[in-house]
Structure 1
């Protein structure tokens, strides 16, 4: 990789898509239900239809607000961008990485000595955390491929150095 190349990993946005599409479907269903209930003069649809449309509009609004994490390496700098939250680390200050499993995958970075780096909290709830949150659909294999492409090795968690059997 040359110095001016940009390598980027955009995390899958499954929840964002599902909230946008589900909200649109609910909003259309609520509007259609209200219109049909007014035509047929049915009181239940007149009450429930606008409620379903409002819930659909709220889902669209909430899905639109979801920020998708992006990992980038460009000009000797590693960047993690999620909306207005940006972490910039000089590439030389990263020694290795590890991926935390779970419902929402997370990326941990270590300094060249092997100590985990601390990052300010994304949501502002805690003072710091030792990882950067990704999305639930982000596979470990994609993160491994991205890190291999930029030249960051995985963290060796073995207690004893040497050969593996």
Structure 2
């Protein structure tokens, strides 16, 4: 990002300078090398790196939800992990629960790839977006605990 900032500041009014600047921007942000910069690529480059403590908290959370330990979170993992909270009642059917869980999982999916399966990279990507909005590590852990009703296990 610092290179990008420097390049923009150094840009003069000559057209060749602008072309060079936008080429540098493209190289910096277009990680899929498809000639386009999508929102997720842009935001990935802007967010600050996470501390080791936050990475460990996210990893522990992922492991606690990945009940069958296949390195993916699916509807079945969520149903197993949160079985007591998800029991069908007169007001909510099994189908409504499945729809709600699918909707929840899609929040973590890579945009355009709503397959109902969240791998570790997708989970980390979503949590790192949250991390970028929270200043203190301890508060970040508190937010994760609150969102997922989770007690961190030291591994």
TM-score by length of 1: 0.32
Radius of gyration: which is bigger?
1
Q: Which has the higher strand share?
A: 1
